[in-house]
Amino acid sequence: MANGESPSLASYKSKFLSDCVSAEALKFGTFTLKSKRISPYFFNAGLFHSAKLARSISAAYASTLASANIEFDVLFGPAYKGIPLAALTVDKLGGIDPKYENISYSFNRKEAKDHGEGGNIVGASLTGKRIVIIDDVITAGTAIREAIEIIKREGGTLVGILVAFDRLEKTPSANDDDGQPRPSAIGEVRRQYGIPVMAILTLDDVVEYLRGIGTEDDIKRLEEYRTKYKASD
Ligand SMILES: O=P(O)(O)OC[C@H]1O[C@H](OP(=O)(O)OP(=O)(O)O)[C@H](O)[C@@H]1O
Ligand SMILES: O=C(O)c1cc(=O)[nH]c(=O)[nH]1
């Protein structure tokens, strides 16, 4: 399409995907993930840093949340990339509907602060609150499980998780090339906590979108990776 948007996706998804490509937040090449898996693509939410792109990413998070029909008090953004995502999304939600005016953001410090106000939570207290975690990507689930532990420790109740990107891949094992079926970390968290775990985009959306504009080599590498690491759920 002339504006780079995809006709088969909801318009906010399509707009977000096209902005991911123009911000080069979606890169194709060879990347080592936190889980040590080698991936032919990488989603870098840190590249949504201009006013225009910050509006685009927060609009996509806010639209997904507003249509999810869940009640919550605080958006918790795990350090570091979750921090601006939670703050921007709170601002965007407040502009969508007055019912969100009192929603807060909160985030953790990776290192506890031992002076001034101290502690490692900044923003709203999580105690006694209904919390939605806002983050960029879940792959192996290590980062999200750490965030869930922080919420438990602070006495909050986790009611949902929203990420920008669901890589749709199985959890890693000691021998990652074992060819064994395994569920995704997102699926495991969904089942374990009985909460919605939502994503604005999935790898399938990206592959579909790339068919229109990507190089044959990028599409082939993505499809091979998707087949190799596809989650069983
Ligand atoms: O599901 P996982 O395998 O844990 O990996 C995904 C997470 O890892 C990265 O964050 P990281 O902890 O590196 O922190 P950052 O936000 O400071 O980049 C990434 O931003 C995701 O949040
Ligand atoms: O698994 C990861 O580490 C990871 C994947 C990805 O696409 N983006 C990111 O920031 N981290």
Specify the 3-state DSSP secondary structure of 233: coil
Judge whether 150 lies within some domain: yes
Examine residue 199 and state whether it is found in any structural domain, yes or no.
yes
Report yes or no on 145 lying in a domain.
yes
- Ligand 2 centroid–CA 23 distance in Å is 16
List of residues 6+ apart from 61 with CB closer than 8 A: 85, 88, 89, 92, 134, 162, 164, 200
Ligand with smallest separation from the Cα of 33: 2
Which structural domain range is residue 48 located in?
11-229
pTM, full prediction: 0.92
- Whether 5 maps to a domain, the answer reads no
Identify the residue whose C-alpha is closest to ligand 2 atom 2. 33
- Tell me the pLDDT tens digit for each residue of 94-140: 999 999 999 999 999 998 777 877 679 999 999 999 999 999 999 98
Domain contains 2 = no
The DSSP 8-state label assigned to residue 141 in this structure reads S
- At 66-90, the pLDDT tens digits run 999 899 999 999 999 999 999 999 9
Q: Is residue 137 within 6 Å of ligand 2 at its C-beta?
A: yes
Return the number of other C-beta atoms located less than 10 Å from residue 94's C-beta.
15
pLDDT band at 2 (very low <50, low <70, confident <90, very high): very low
Residue whose Cα lies nearest atom 13 of ligand 1: it is 34
Measured distance CA(23)–CA(60) in Å, rounded: 15
The amino acid present at 213, given as its one-letter code, is I
Give the strand pairing for 119-123 and 38-43.
unpaired
Longest dimension (CA), the chain: 55
Query: What are the pLDDT digits (tens) for 135-167?
Result: 999 998 999 999 999 999 999 999 999 999 999
User: How large a percentage of the chain has pLDDT more than 70?
Assistant: 96
Residue 1 lies in a domain: no
Candidate from 33, 41, 80, 142 with most ligand 2 atoms within 8 A of CB, to mutate:
33
Q: How many of the other CB atoms lie within 10 Å of CB of 116?
A: 6
* Alpha helices in the chain, H assignment, sequence order: 11-22, 51-66, 82-96, 142-153, 185-193, 203-213, 216-229
Give the torsion sign (CA, 10, 16, 19, 20).
negative
Examine residue 6 and state whether it is found in any structural domain, yes or no.
no
What's 92's domain CATH number? 3.40.50.2020
Q: Which amino acid is at 207?
A: V
Best residue for ligand 2 mutational test, from 43, 81, 138, 168 (most atoms within 8 Å of Cβ)? 43
Domain count, the chain: 1
Instruction: Read off the pLDDT band of 4 (50, 70, 90).
Output: low
Q: Coil, strand, or helix at residue 18? A: helix
Best CA proximity match to 163, nearest among 226, 77, 94, 104: 77
- Predicted local distance difference test score (pLDDT) of residue 215: 82
Nearest-CA residue for atom 19 of ligand 1: 137
Query: 25 with 201: CB under 8 angstroms?
Result: no
Cβ neighbours of residue 89 under 8 Å, at least 6 residues apart?
58, 61, 62, 65, 75, 105, 134
